[in-house]
């Protein structure tokens, strides 16, 4: 007799991906400058640790808030008790204003159209639950974040159908690729319910152009389907061209408050821009009243704690701090990305020109023994086990071309990054000499 459910026994979580395998190997042998200097350096984790000092300085200067006090009086009991799953009004107001600030105040957001979730992972899954079900499909441009295989499919039973993008045009989305993906879904007897974009792109580290956004918007209008724009990296844009939110495109096309705007939804969170993944703060923004109502009900399964909302509402409401933080954080990301690219150049490796995110999309095709994904896996294993760097192979991101890798740069010190680049250069030199 089977004691566990079909869901518990199935193998559709995606945990067997090399993306997750690299994490497992890192956890077995993590690098530490003092305790384990020969360990694996984690370059597969998109965390932003470059501006913790700014956040810590704010906390030090706002002791009352950090101690859950208001006007000198403790509000611990108030925060400790049950709160409505709609979220604290002060936090939702601060959140939508911060989202607008990141977008240069070119667009505004209504806090009544915001649904709070325990991270962007929960936001994406909740949206899929609201939009689709078994037998339905969501189209995603490749390469895409490996975690989407888990986040969008595992519990919802929705299928991901790739929009195949290639290096021939720097992985930009094209009309033929959109139509082909739509046809591929129909050939599999799947009903296409929407397109999901990550803008800026994970793993490419680039912003999606205005022309691509217009193309995708026209596509979803013609097909009568939804568009999800995951904009969790919107505050990490450090070079031109600047970030263009799908909300800007709707505004330019005068599609605000229309039937079309009811089919466009945004995912956001504070994990990347503020570097707070442990706080589990995500959000869905939508003009669709029914979707907002349903998603709010679903959010009761993954709430953001009242303590977290209270603390962050104060931080995000400090406009002087947020303005300074956004600017300084982007400068630090820009400098760190330059450091990574320079290290790769010394090793004879090129990167896709990037302007956002916490990672680079790196071309190591010339190091493959053959132009196959088997050769890519072999190279990846050598880098993880011999060079002791955990990076993410392109195959885990569903890239159509062997030899691309995602490499993160913001979750370690400058010294550790230099060590990682030294290790890689030594490896490439020895490989070249052997060949």
Which is it for the CA torsion 171, 175, 178, 179, positive or negative? negative
Provide the pLDDT for residue 430: 87
Residue with tokens 């739509």: 182
| SS3 (DSSP) at 357 | coil
The whole-angstrom separation of Cα 300 and Cα 296 is 7
Q: Give the torsion through C-alpha atoms of 289, 293, 299, 305, to 10 deg.
A: 80
Catalytic residues: 145, 230, 232, 272
The strand pairing partners of 228, in sequence order, are 196, 265
CA-to-CA separations, 312 to 68, 93, 100, 305, in angstroms, rounded: 11, 11, 16, 11
d(CA 275, CA 2): 42
- What gap in Å lies between CA 116 and CA 123, rounded to an integer? 8
The predicted structure's pLDDT at residue 431: 80
DSSP 158: P
Asked if residue 178 lies in contact with residue 215, where contact means CB atoms within 8 angstroms, the answer is: yes
- Tell me which residue of 252, 276, 242, 239 sits closest to 95, measured CA to CA: 276
Q: How far apart are CA 109 and CA 250, in angstroms?
A: 13
From 74, 141, 358, select the one nearest 236 (Cα to Cα): 358
Q: What is the dihedral of CA 215, 216, 218, 219, to 10 degrees?
A: 120
Chain centre distance of CA 415: 25
SS3 assignment, position 187: helix
Tell me whether residue 93 is exposed, middle or buried, using C-beta atoms within 10 angstroms of its C-beta: 0 to 12, 13 to 18, 19 or more: middle
DSSP state, residue 110:
-
For residues 326 and 98, the answer to whether their CB atoms sit within 8 Å is no
Token pair recorded at residue 400: 């159509």
Whether 363 contacts 349, CB under 8 Å: yes
Q: Rounded to an integer, what distance in angstroms lies between the CA atom of residue 149 and that of residue 388? A: 26
pTM for this predicted structure: 0.93
Cβ–Cβ under 8 Å, residues 391 and 406? yes
* CB 28, CB 36: distance < 8 Å: no
d(CA 99, CA 76): 28
Q: Are 256 and 240 in contact (CB under 8 A)?
A: no
The residues, any chain, with a CB within 8 Å of residue 431's CB and separated by 6 or more, are 367
Please tell me the distance from the alpha carbon of residue 138 to that of residue 361, in angstroms, as a whole number.
24
How open is the CA angle 130-102-209, to the nearest 5 degrees?
75
Residues 344 and 360: their CA atoms lie apart, in Å, by: 10
CA 355, chain centre distance (Å): 15
Classified as helix, coil or strand, 333 is: helix
Query: For position 433, what pLDDT does the model report?
Result: 62
pLDDT along the chain (435 residues), means of 10: 74 73 90 95 94 94 86 81 82 96 94 96 96 96 94 93 96 98 97 97 96 97 97 95 94 87 96 92 96 94 90 95 96 97 96 96 96 96 96 96 97 96 94 66
Q: Residue 14 has what pLDDT?
A: 67
Whether the CB-CB separation of 250 and 285 falls below 8 Å is answered with no
Residue 1, pLDDT score: 53
Helix H or strand E segment including 136: strand 136-141
């Amino acid at each position: 007799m089977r004691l566990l459910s079909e869901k518990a026994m199935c193998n559709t979580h995606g945990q067997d991906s090399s993306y997750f395998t690299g994490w497992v190997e890192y956890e077995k042998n993590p690098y530490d400058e003092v305790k384990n200097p020969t360990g694996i350096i984690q370059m597969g984790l998109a965390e932003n640790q470059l501006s913790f000092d700014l956040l810590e300085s704010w906390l030090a200067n706002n002791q009352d808030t950090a101690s859950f006090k208001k006007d000198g009086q403790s509000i611990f009991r108030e925060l400790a008790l049950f709160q409505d799953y709609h979220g604290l009004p002060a936090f939702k107001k601060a959140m939508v204003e911060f989202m607008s600030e990141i977008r240069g105040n070119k667009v505004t957001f209504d806090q009544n159209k915001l649904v709070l979730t325990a991270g962007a992972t929960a936001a994406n899954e909740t949206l899929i639950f609201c939009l689709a079900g078994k037998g339905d499909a969501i189209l995603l441009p490749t390469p895409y974040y490996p975690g989407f295989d888990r986040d969008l499919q595992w519990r919802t039973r929705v299928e991901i159908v790739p929009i195949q993008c290639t290096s021939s045009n720097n992985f930009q989305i094209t009309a033929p690729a959109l139509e082909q993906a739509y046809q591929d879904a129909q050939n599999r007897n799947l009903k296409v319910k929407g397109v999901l974009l990550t803008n800026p792109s994970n793993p490419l580290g680039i912003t999606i152009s205005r022309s691509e956004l217009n193309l995708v918007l026209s596509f979803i209008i013609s097909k009568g389907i939804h568009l999800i724009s995951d904009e969790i990296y919107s505050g990490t844009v450090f070079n031109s061209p600047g970030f263009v939110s799908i909300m800007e495109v709707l505004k330019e096309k005068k599609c605000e408050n229309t039937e079309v705007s009811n089919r466009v939804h945004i995912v956001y969170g504070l994990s990347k821009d503020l570097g707070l993944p442990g706080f589990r703060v995500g959000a869905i923004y939508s003009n669709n009243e029914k979707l907002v109502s349903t998603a709010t009900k679903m959010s009761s399964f993954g709430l953001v704690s009242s303590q977290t909302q209270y603390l962050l509402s104060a931080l995000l409401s400090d406009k002087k701090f947020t303005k300074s933080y956004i600017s300084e954080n982007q400068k630090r990301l820009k400098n760190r990305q330059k450091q990574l690219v320079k290290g790769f150049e010394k090793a004879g490796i090129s990167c896709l020109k990037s302007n956002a995110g916490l990672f680079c999309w790196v071309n190591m095709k010339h190091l493959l023994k053959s132009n196959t994904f088997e050769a890519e896996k072999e190279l990846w294993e050598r880098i993880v086990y011999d060079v002791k760097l955990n990076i993410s192979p392109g195959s885990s991101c569903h890239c159509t071309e062997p030899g691309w890798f995602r490499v993160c740069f913001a979750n370690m010190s400058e010294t550790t990054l230099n060590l990682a680049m030294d290790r890689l250069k030594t490896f490439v030199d020895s490989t070249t000499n052997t060949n």
